Amino acid sequence: MRADTGRPSALWMSEHAMDTNLLEKHSDWKWVIPARDGMRVPGIIYADEALIRDMDFKVYEQVVNVAKLPGIVNASYAMPDAHWGYGFPIGGVAAFDPLQGGVISAGGVGFDISCGVRTLLTGLRTDQVRASQRDLANALYGAVPAGLGRGGDIHLDDAGLCAMLRGGARWAVEQGWGDESDLDRIEEQGCQSGAQPEAISLLARKRQRNEMGTLGSGNHYLEVQEVSRIHDSEIAEAFGVHQGEIVVTIHCGSRGLGHQVGSEFLKRMAAEAPAHGIHLPDRELACAPLESETGREYLGAMRAATNCALANREIITHLTRQVFASLFPEAVLTLLYDVSHNTCKEEMHDVDGDRRRLFVHRKGATRALGPGHPALPSSLRPWGQPVLIGGSMGTNSHILAGMPESEARSFASACHGAGRAMSRRQAYRQWRGRQLIDDLAERGILIRSTSGRGVAEEAPGAYKDVDRVVDSAENAGLACKVARLTPLITIKG
């Protein structure tokens, strides 16, 4: 989400920090909010004590409010990177049972529907890329459009746009923007079924006509990274991740289309909630019963927006491969995995001994399927799903893998990034983009961006310590650490 309205400043958060007296400490990495005052289930926050104390109190309030929604199952969860979001906390996870009046919430999915991350393996050594680092940075910056409202070279009419919304990454491959082999390494094999382009307004479709294959702005990026440390050599080898080699990570979503879908359905859900007998503890939690007309239409629109994001990342991958081919003809960029944040997925889970069909909201969280899960491709199934954790600009990123116990602990969910420690507005007051770019260049990290303000808003100091976040995720049994990535080049809007 780009909008900063109502988000807390660092001063606000220091004065309104998490009150740990309201939490029950069940372990060093699991904190429980007992169900009370209208909560249908307890709240569970996974984090170490330092991260808990640094969370703003609004996270507590939002976890509690989500626990009051109809049909929620087991608990309202928050991941170690949790911070104040719109309705749900960013880093929030909740599952709903349609047979128990369960709901779907546009605020529980987020505005940037299917914002996600994919990582490409290159097989190149760091010294090879260092020798051409500046040329590579400039070429990527020229090839992949980035920035608020910036379009690309692909222009779709309404028929082409609707085909993209139905086909996702598979459509992109069919159009020549990607490789067939990629599809096996994308959630839902690159195409979310049940998409309904007709449920997306003309305005939302219009916003996307010229934005395919573009990064956008905010915390979205394309980053060239070195595998600087291996934590689990067996899983890393299975993933094809080797220390000292170069990977490329792409972080972006459904651009203006996803934001428009979220905005329109939030208004509609809020207006219709009383007719469904739904009392909203927070208007930002506007929702509709999964079995209602609005609920079904939102699912169809959200799935189409998910396909938009999958196609967008596939096209950017194609553009990235073209750049690498021009500078490193020997390189073959293969897709490790593509994971979406900001989704609601229909999944089967064990609840109280029964296998139940649930709709799992992950807002700023990623699915983290454990070893043996049938949704994983056979090449990854013995090891668990790659969980891709993006750091803030200039800091480490991480590759993790789903763990067997994550199914029972969080509906197979984990964190998705570092998590903001202050608002964009506060970051801009504290840092200047040009100075950050120069400072990072001295550390061997090249930044290419259309906006100095955007760089300042994404300053490393505006985020939590991502290494601490992933340590908490591993210790809580959500996902295990596989490899650490260190940036060399970052392309941003």
C-alpha to C-alpha distances, 383 to 238, 348, 479, nearest whole angstrom: 8, 20, 11
How far apart are the C-alpha atoms of 303 and 306, rounded to whole Å?
5
Rounded Cα distance, 472 and 47, in Å:
5
Beta bridge partners of 340: 116
* DSSP symbols for 348-382: EEEETTEEEEEEEEEESEEE-PPTT-TTS-TTTTT
- DSSP H helices, 347-482, are 406-410, 424-430, 433-442, 452-457, 466-475
Q: How far is CA 487 from CA 111, 379, 490, in A?
A: 27, 27, 7
- Please, which contacts does 180-185 make with residues 24 or more away whose CB atoms are closer than 8 Å? 181/334, 181/335, 182/314, 182/317, 182/335, 182/338, 184/377, 184/379, 185/335, 185/336, 185/337, 185/338, 185/377, 185/380
Contact present, 203 and 227 (Cβ < 8 Å): no
Paired strand residues for 73: 95
DSSP conformation letters of 131-170: TTHHHHHHHHHHHS--STT---S----HHHHHHHHHHHHH
CA torsion through residues 199, 375, 29, 227, sign: negative
Residue of 251, 259, 398, 416 marked catalytic: 416
Cβ pair 65, 281 in contact under 8 A: yes
**Residue 416 per-residue DSSP state:** -
Calculate the alpha carbon distances from 139 to 129, 322, 415, 440 in Å. Answer: 13, 10, 32, 19
* Cβ-contact 418, 465 below 8 angstroms: yes
Q: Do the Cβ atoms of 352 and 99 come closer than 8 Å?
A: no
Q: Is 242 a catalytic residue?
A: no
Check: CB of residue 213 under 8 Å from CB of residue 144.
Answer: yes
Active site amino acids: 416
